[in-house]
């Protein structure tokens, strides 16, 4: 049987270079595809909202102020990039993050922006120009105060976000209900409010309302998903994708010390990150 002669060494080298070029081009194009999916302000906001709880297109459109059509288009881009997943529930489709690494990518982008994008500071200054900013406290300080019974943790996000997950022992009073429900908070207990992220203003506004009412109040520097991403324990009222109610501890009880320990995280740094003051 005749044997085919081997290609000359130069031809073999050229073929190898072509394969390497095709490999690198394909590899970086896939990374760029993810970057393009993340390269939109509305889509980043959608990711932050989905980090709180599953949402329908209608809910996301209402929260972002986008039209239904635009919201759906952005979700399809994220879905094609496999950054979000969807499931049917009756007549509705509910969206969620594809996994915790998706939120960590958004965290990394925020960190990059704080480090290198001076424009972020300009945007923040423009918003807070005529308003008072309240100093935030770290997760480490929150844990210390709560374990000593020196503070109440207050979740001021919408109720459905609290149900999907919250800090141990946190009380739920959405910002829009805070004024009407102030009597539910003991006057002598300092309050630590938290919301969706370091850039979320719900906790800031809650602290302003509480201090105007003569209460001691601070905001947590982190949002709920950041707390969870660092490996700290959380509690749920809904414990699966089907929306099954979970068993909850006694209402408004402070958690035991063990509940505020990190679970399965080797990184022991304190959670000092947040919006620069």
Compute the Cα dihedral for 198, 200, 202, 204 and give only its sign: positive
> If 0-12 CB within 10 Å is exposed, 13-18 middle and 19+ buried, where does residue 75 land?
buried
The pair of structure tokens assigned to 276 is 């620069």
CB 8 within 8 A of CB 15: no
The pair of structure tokens assigned to 227 is 């707390």
Q: How far apart are CA 66 and CA 44, in angstroms?
A: 13
Q: How far apart are CA 194 and CA 24, in angstroms?
A: 44
Q: Residue 55: phi, psi to the nearest 5?
A: -145, 155
Q: How far apart are CA 198 and CA 219, in angstroms?
A: 10
Q: How far apart are CA 153 and CA 234, in angstroms?
A: 13
- Bridge partners, 171 (sequence order): 154
Query: Which position has the token pair 């970057």?
Result: 35
Q: Which residues are known catalytic residues?
A: 195
Q: How far apart are CA 193 and CA 236, in angstroms?
A: 18
Which residues touch 20 (CB under 8 Å, ≥6 apart)?
A: none
């Amino acid at each position: 049987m005749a044997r085919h002669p081997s290609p000359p060494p130069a031809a073999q080298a050229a073929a190898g270079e072509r394969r390497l070029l095709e490999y690198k081009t394909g590899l970086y194009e896939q990374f760029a595809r993810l970057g393009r999916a993340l390269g939109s302000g509305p889509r980043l906001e959608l990711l932050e909202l989905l980090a709180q709880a599953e949402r329908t297109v209608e809910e996301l459109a209402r929260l972002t102020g986008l039209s239904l059509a635009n919201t759906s288009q952005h979700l399809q881009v994220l879905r094609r990039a496999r950054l979000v997943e969807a499931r049917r529930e009756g007549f509705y489709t509910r969206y969620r993050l594809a996994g915790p690494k998706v939120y960590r990518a958004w965290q990394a982008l925020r960190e990059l922006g704080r480090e290198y994008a001076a424009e972020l500071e300009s945007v923040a200054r423009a918003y807070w120009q005529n308003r008072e900013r309240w100093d935030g406290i770290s997760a480490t300080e929150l844990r210390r105060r709560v374990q000593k019974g020196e503070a109440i943790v207050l979740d001021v996000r919408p109720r459905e976000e609290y149900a999907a997950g919250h800090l141990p022992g946190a009380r739920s009073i959405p910002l829009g209900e805070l004024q009407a429900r102030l009597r539910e908070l003991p006057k002598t207990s300092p309050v630590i409010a938290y919301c969706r992220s370091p850039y979320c203003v719900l906790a800031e506004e809650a602290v302003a309302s509480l201090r105007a009412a003569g209460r001691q109040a601070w905001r947590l520097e982190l949002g709920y998903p950041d707390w969870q991403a660092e490996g700290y324990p959380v509690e749920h009222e809904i414990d699966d994708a089907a929306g099954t109610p979970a068993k909850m501890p006694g209402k408004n009880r402070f958690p035991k010390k063990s509940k505020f320990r990190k679970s399965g995280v080797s990184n022991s740094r304190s959670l000092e990150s947040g919006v620069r003051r």
